[in-house]
Amino acid sequence: MKSSLRIACSRSHLQEVRDFVRTYLMGLDLPEITINQVVLAIDEVVANFIIHANGEDETQFLDLELAVAQHELNVEIADHGDTIFLPGAHQSPDLRAYIKEGRKGGMGMALVNRLMDRVEFFTRGNHTVCHLSKHLA
């Protein structure tokens, strides 16, 4: 079962993304905790693409595709902006240092890596793609 969505690169579309993902996952009869984890992970990646890769340029767009096969959820988020966006390796941040420094942000991709089984960024032509996967019990 596949489903896809295209949005303009604006934060105003994040609720639409969350609703789209939640509706898709609810159709799979998954535990609420799993649905919440996947919605959060996808929301974080899409927000990063919108804000950091595209500067909230509404003339750019993202394609989101969800598919399930053999108890594996596969998510592909494709950026059609002009900038290649390949976040570096994400290690678990030092929370004590973050608190001491008063830092905000910078923990989203570490969270995505914890919530999903596989997180990969790569290029396809001159576009950036993020592939997320999670085994569904």
Question: Quick one: CA dihedral 65, 24, 16, 33, positive or negative?
Answer: negative
Q: Which amino acid is at 65?
A: E
Torsion sign (Cα): 91, 95, 99, 101:
negative
| pLDDT (tens place) for every residue of the chain, 137 residues total | 899 999 999 999 999 999 999 999 999 999 999 999 999 999 999 999 999 889 999 999 999 999 999 999 999 999 986 667 766 544 555 556 555 565 555 678 889 999 999 999 999 888 899 999 999 98
Expressed in percent and rounded to 5, the helix, strand and coil fractions of the chain are 40, 30, 30
Q: Taking the model in full, what pTM does it have?
A: 0.87
Domain count, the chain: 1
CATH of the domain at 131: 3.30.565.10
Give, as one character, the DSSP assignment of residue 92.
Answer: P
Report the greatest alpha carbon distance in the chain: 46
